[in-house]
């Protein structure tokens, strides 16, 4: 579930999407890489957001 403060942007020049948002379960910002295939979104990888993603989240989120 995405909150209003979740940042979604292209992850690279490919098909992946980078989503940065606060996880109440993890208790921190996390970055998730996902791709869509045939109408289904798959989570490819995720990690605790690094300094760059944390800065982007603070600067670019709605």
* Amino acid 15: pLDDT: 84
N residues, the chain: 62
Residue 2 has pLDDT above 60, yes or no: no
For 3-48, what is each residue's pLDDT tens digit? 567 777 777 677 899 999 999 999 999 999 999 899 999 999 999 9
* Amino acid 3: pLDDT: 58
CA–chain centroid gap for 8, Å, is 6
The three-state secondary structure class of 13 is: coil
* Amino acid 62: pLDDT: 67
Torsion of CA 13, 28, 23, 57, to 10 degrees: -40
């Amino acid at each position: 579930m995405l909150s209003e403060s979740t940042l979604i942007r292209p992850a690279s020049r490919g098909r992946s999407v980078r989503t940065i948002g606060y996880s109440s379960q993890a208790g921190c910002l996390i970055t998730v890489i996902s791709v869509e295939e045939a109408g289904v979104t798959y989570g490819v990888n995720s990690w605790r957001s690094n300094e760059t993603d944390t800065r982007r989240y603070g600067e670019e989120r709605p």
